[in-house]
Amino acid sequence: MALVTGEYPSSGYALHAAVDTMLGYPTINPNSSPQDSFLQDHRLIEALKYSYAQLSTPINSTYLHQVNGTNIGAYIRSLINDTHSYPMHHYLNGVQLLTTSGGQQHVCVIGPDDIIITITMSLGSNFGSKLMASGFILNNAMLDFSWEGKVQSSLQVPMANYVRGGAQPVSSLIPAIVIPSLSKCGEYLMPAARSRSMSVSGIAQVLMRKASNLGIKDSIAFKRFNQVMSTNVVQLEDNQPTGLAQYLRQRQRSHGFYSAK
């Protein structure tokens, strides 16, 4: 399985980092023990935190390869603690967490010639900037830039997302296509999600289930969790496997944790 997605400043950058991290761990399958499955969920939660932090302080992949002989997935795996989770500031290295506005819409098309196109777009918040040009509503993506005083925080402004001429702000958009990694034969997927706060987490979990040889329908239907970055809370869908909540509490320590309806 190979994931093709948008580069920074797209949130596809965070999705790629999380998926690349998880593909380096042993595969979990339906016959794996509950403890192994729970550990994999913990690792994915940690991978998501580090991956989101990468939006604030992106690391150049070429630099990683040249200096450390590694890639972003291996780099994040080297940081993950299998027995402990940390407050969010630990992952951010003194830089503010980036947030983006609004949801998104997707158009995914497969042509008769098997050419695949996926387009993701967003107005930002509802009705965008509320301004129109040539019959189109303009988005308010300018508000996704960072600047001094935008938020009350003692952490540094993410300079990679600083408002300046010719720059693009970080985006919640995640155009993504999954293709077979070894040949042209196999399944092709176009994952998409609307909720900006759950998109990376939700898509990553579906892809990891698919990588563990679950069918695509079962991968989508599998109960999911969501790591809320701003509050360091883990939300769980109801009817999760028995013991998962306790397992994560032991590693989340004093960090918030509750079941989402």
Helix (H) or strand (E) holding 109: strand 105-110
Nearest to 105 by CA among 174, 165, 155, 18: 174
**Three-state helix/strand/coil letters over 73-88:** HHHHHHHCCCCCCCCH
Cα distance between residue 10 and residue 122, in whole Å = 12
Beta pairing class for 225-228 and 176-179: unpaired
**Is 171 labelled as part of a ligand binding site?**
yes
Q: Is 102 helix (H, G, I), strand (E, B) or coil?
A: coil
Q: Is residue 122 a contact partner of residue 103, using CB atoms and an 8 Å limit?
A: yes
Tokens of 161: 């997302």
Binding-site residue positions for L-glutamate: 144, 171-172
Binding residue numbers: 144, 171-172
